[in-house]
Amino acid sequence: MMRHLISAADLTKDDAVRILDTAEEMARVADRPIKKLPTLRGRTVVNLFFEDSTRTRISFEAAEKRLSADVINFSAKGSSVSKGESLKDTAQTLEAMGVDAVVIRHGASGAPFRLATSGWIDAAVVNAGDGTHQHPTQALLDAFTMRRRLVGRDAGLGQDLAGKRVTLVGDILHSRVARSNVDLLHTLGAEVTLVAPPTLLPVGVGSWPCEVSYDLDRVLPASDAVMMLRVQRERMNAAFFPTEREYSRRYGLDGERMARMPGHALVMHPGPMVRGMEITAEVADSERCTVVEQVANGVSIRMAVLYLLLGGQDQTAQQTAPAPATEEK
Amino acid sequence: MSKTLIRGAKVLGGAPQDVLIDGERIEAVGEGLSAEGAEVVDAAGRVLLPGLVDLHTHLREPGREDSETVLTGTRAAAAGGFTAVHAMANTFPVADTAGVVEQVWRLGRESGYCDVQPVGAVTVGLEGKKLAELGAMHDSAAGVVVFSDDGKCVDDAVIMRRALEYVKAFDGVVAQHAQEPRLTEGAQMNEGVVSAELGLGGWPAVAEESIIARDVLLAAHVGSRVHICHLSTAGSVEIVRWAKSKGWNVTAEVTPHHLLLTDELVRSYDPVYKVNPPLRTERDVLALREALADGTIDCVATDHAPHPHEDKDCEWAAAAMGMVGLETALSVVQHTMVDTGLLDWAQLAERMSFRPAAIGRLTGQGRPVSPGEPANLTLVDPAYRGAVDPAGFASRSRNTPYEGRELPGRVTHTWLRGRATVADGKLV
């Protein structure tokens, strides 16, 4: 296991399956009356959030507390960061306080990578979302949700997602969730198709390990899971698409479209949803929609990641482990 | 004044010859010159070039003396073998009046390390709205010939047209920073495969190429000359090649870093690779080398852009754009162009001294190594190999992308009008 979790692309298939399997063990803790393990007792984890994200922060916080870690929440708002302190100085302040892991959410792509590789700190770094780059724990919880539903909770143990057809729909260009999912799903053997208006696909998407389509209706019947991504209304003002209604008509998921999906197929969404834009209420509230399940699974996945990074193996081995593979890529 | 005899130097890479400097001028060039009364520099195996001329340098003074001053910048220039630099106008205050350009010009004279030719802003405050007093800057002691809003593009087609026309009255030239602003809002790196993966805002090649295409057409229409700053894409090369084939008065420069580095380096998220225009792809690098070799690109210009440490020791998006370049330029050009066989030393001299001096209408710089000419000379040891160590830089800033990289060649001596500014690899 690596020392940091920066990008889903850094995970091998064995790493990923191991995290998913560990998360299943962690999920059992959640089923107990006392949802706590002593694993990280005496270890300090800081949630360093430069961007507002209550949902992700709470998910990490719940995971850390269930592992008995000491938790510090550091929000950039109202802190010295808003007065111009640099990421480096903030990091070194935390280092001086002796934190063991930093969970970082940052608006700048690459900030967690810099934190992990610039020699500013020694702590393990977990990327909780950076700019439009990566959000690896989201991809892991999505894969976990798919494996449970499409392979089975017990049958899935030790398994990947070979042959599963996953469709991601929406604002791929600005989405760290999409990038992480493409990387991880490809590693796990799934076949990924991206569906979006051409304006919301990055130049260079042709080199990604996935298919690209502009036609949602053609892709739906051949999908085992359809992941709808949030589309911010403001994008309309930058001419990415003409109107909200036109977007919704061409790329939104409503009941009629959902009916064209295979019977077993899932509807997923990383949240928060924009109902009426990329997804109708009828779909969001349907049995097939896994949004709430994804939230619950998020805690298990984050427990697994922190456990494996901080407590899951021999300490000395961790300290000599190499930096994430993005450096050599 | 003293005499110096440079013994056995390969003048412009040719057969070994002696060059005698007397006072400010070259006295004689030949074999077996008398060393009587002269200090002798043994130049066996070394290449003697005309002093290098940079069309594109940011000296940062006035305003950002924390990153560079005219003195530290000209010391860096001398260390890199330059005897003249053009100081870009994006200072604080902007060099958009006769007063500011004269200040920069005077500071250059006082430094004594390298001639400083100020570049004047095209528009007031670099805002692209209203022409600066171009004539007053030309008529000032600084004698400005090159005008540029570098750092920003003169994107308004009418302002650009007027500037191109207006400077004809005194044989001026507009040096365009070609960057369509709307296409590059939030741009962080070259738009392509790597930016898609890294999630960094793209700076598409078309944003440069569309402006160059427009400006060569404008220059042709009004019969003016235009200079393209830091050309960075294969497409830009094709447009300039086409414009030149029409006989239009277009010149272009390329930076050393665009001849060597690609956007693959951005995968490190290390802001030392953040620069504007951004590092492009391998295909672009090869096209730029070819264009510099065949003369489509006229010259090399450093775009030396010093920044304080804290502006690079941070996350990518927060970092400043730019790299220092004066002290590594010659090594990078030797590495990419001479050692690859694309240029010989005489052709390098053309592209790093004669042409840029001619574009900037400098007199006394970019002259042949011949008797009677000003003794602006650079002596290079092309056999030297060494890793770049920023700690040894004369520049006040250290933001080099080459730290630890082994590069060939070293400037051992630089003479500015007969005075050694660098001797035995050290500033004098």
A261 within domain boundaries? yes
DSSP letters for A29-78: HHTSSS----TTTT-EEEEEESS--HHHHHHHHHHHHHTT-EEEEEESTT
Do both A273 and A173 map to the same domain? yes
Do both A77 and A128 map to the same domain? yes
Query: What is the residue extent of each domain of chain B?
Result: 3-47+373-427, 51-359
User: Would you state the torsion angle of the CA atoms of residues A191, A193, A194, A196, taken in this order, to the nearest 10 degrees?
Assistant: -170
Do both A277 and A200 map to the same domain? yes
Q: CA of A280: how far to CAs of A258, A264, A271, A284, B301, in Å? A: 10, 19, 14, 6, 57
Contact A67, A307 (CB under 8 A): yes
Q: Is A204 on the interface with B (CB under 8 A)?
A: yes
- Fold identical between B3-47+373-427 and B51-359? no
Distance from CA of A103 to the nearest CA of B (A): 16
Q: What's residue A125's pLDDT?
A: 97
pLDDT digits (tens, 9 = 90+) for A276-309: 999 999 999 999 999 999 999 999 999 999 999 9
User: Would you state the torsion angle of the CA atoms of residues A181, A184, A190, A196, taken in this order, to the nearest 10 degrees?
Assistant: 20
Which residues are bridge partners to A67 per DSSP?
Answer: none
B199–A88 CB contact, under 8 Å? no
Which residues are bridge partners to A225 per DSSP?
Answer: A166, A266
B313–A88 CB contact, under 8 Å? yes
- Total domains in the fold of chain A: 2
Q: Which CATH superfamily is domain B3-47+373-427 in?
A: Urease, subunit C, domain 1 (2.30.40.10)
Q: Which of B192, B267, B318 sits opposite A204 (nearest CB)?
A: B192
Q: Is A138 marked within a binding site?
A: yes
B317–A327 CB contact, under 8 Å? no
| Residue (of B262, B133, B255) closest to B190 by Cα position | B262
Contact B147, B172 (CB under 8 A): yes
Q: Is A163 marked within a binding site?
A: no
Q: What's residue A237's pLDDT?
A: 75
B303 carries an active-site annotation: yes
A109–B199 CB contact, under 8 Å? yes
B247: left (phi over 0), alpha (psi -120 to 50) or beta: left
- Which of these is catalytic: B303, B311, B339, B389? B303
Q: How many residues does chain B have?
A: 428
Per-10-residue mean pLDDT of chain B, 428 residues long, equals 92 97 97 94 98 98 97 98 98 98 97 97 98 98 98 98 98 98 97 98 98 98 98 98 98 98 98 98 98 98 97 93 98 98 98 98 97 98 98 98 98 98 97
Q: Is A202 on the interface with B (CB under 8 A)?
A: yes
A203–B268 CB contact, under 8 Å? no
A1 within domain boundaries? no
Distance from CA of B190 to the nearest CA of A (A): 11
Q: Is A18 marked within a binding site?
A: no
What one-letter code names the amino acid at B352? M
Residues of B in contact with A106 (CB under 8 A): 315
Which of the four pLDDT bands, split at 50, 70 and 90, describes residue A235? confident
Do both A51 and A153 map to the same domain? no
pLDDT surpassing 70 at residue A36: yes
Task: List the structure tokens of B42.
Answer: 């043994």
Contact B268, B240 (CB under 8 A): no
Q: What's residue A323's pLDDT?
A: 40
Which of the four pLDDT bands, split at 50, 70 and 90, describes residue A232? confident
Q: Is A14 on the interface with B (CB under 8 A)?
A: no
Rounded CA separation A255/A70 (Å): 45
Mutation target for B interface from A6, A81, A105, A114: give the one with most B CBs within 10 A.
A114
In CATH terms, B51-359 corresponds, of 3.20.20.140, 3.30.1330.10, 3.40.50.300, 3.20.20.70, to 3.20.20.140
pLDDT surpassing 60 at residue A316: no
Q: Is A239 on the interface with B (CB under 8 A)?
A: no
Residue in B with minimal Cα distance to A177: B199
B210: left (phi over 0), alpha (psi -120 to 50) or beta: alpha
pLDDT surpassing 50 at residue A5: yes
Which of the four pLDDT bands, split at 50, 70 and 90, describes residue A80? low
Q: CA of A104: how far to CAs of A93, A130, A276, in Å? A: 14, 8, 31
Do both A111 and A191 map to the same domain? no
Do both A143 and A275 map to the same domain? yes
| Cis, bond preceding B278 (omega within 30 deg of 0) | no
Contact B207, A203 (CB under 8 A): no
- What is the percentage of chain A residues whose pLDDT exceeds 70? 92
Residues of B in contact with A208 (CB under 8 A): 196-197
Rounded CA separation B57/B151 (Å): 12
SS3 B40: strand
A152 within domain boundaries? yes
CATH number at residue A108: 3.40.50.1370
Q: Is A50 on the interface with B (CB under 8 A)?
A: no
Rounded CA separation A77/A294 (Å): 28
Q: CA of B366: how far to CAs of B38, B56, B84, B303, in Å? A: 25, 15, 9, 19
Residue A303 structural domain: 8-135+294-320
Task: List the structure tokens of B278.
Answer: 């951004």
Q: What's residue A126's pLDDT?
A: 98
Residues of B in contact with A117 (CB under 8 A): 268-269
Distance from CA of A88 to the nearest CA of B (A): 7
Interface of A with B in 107-166 (CB under 8 A): 107-111, 113-114, 117-118, 130-134
| Residue (of B44, B18, B41, B78) closest to B381 by Cα position | B44
Q: Is A323 on the interface with B (CB under 8 A)?
A: no
| Cis, bond preceding B62 (omega within 30 deg of 0) | yes
Q: Which of A130, A131, A203 sits opposite B196 (nearest CB)?
A: A203
Rounded CA separation B292/B294 (Å): 6
| Residue (of B411, B237, B400) closest to B325 by Cα position | B400
pLDDT surpassing 80 at residue A81: no
Do both A246 and A308 map to the same domain? no
SS3 A312: coil
B212: left (phi over 0), alpha (psi -120 to 50) or beta: alpha
Residue in A with minimal Cα distance to B201: A132
Contact B284, B254 (CB under 8 A): no
Rounded CA separation B155/B116 (Å): 27
Q: Is B304 marked within a binding site?
A: no
Q: Which of A179, A207, A327 sits opposite B268 (nearest CB)?
A: A327
Contact B256, B328 (CB under 8 A): yes
Under an 8 Å CB criterion, which residues of B touch A? 188, 191-200, 202, 204, 267-270, 310, 313-318
Which residues are bridge partners to A125 per DSSP?
Answer: A102
CA A206 to chain centre: 22
Q: What's residue B211's pLDDT?
A: 98
Do both A146 and A165 map to the same domain? yes
Rounded CA separation A323/B24 (Å): 57
Q: What's residue B2's pLDDT?
A: 87
Distance from CA of A106 to the nearest CA of B (A): 10
A326 within domain boundaries? no
Residue in A with minimal Cα distance to B205: A203
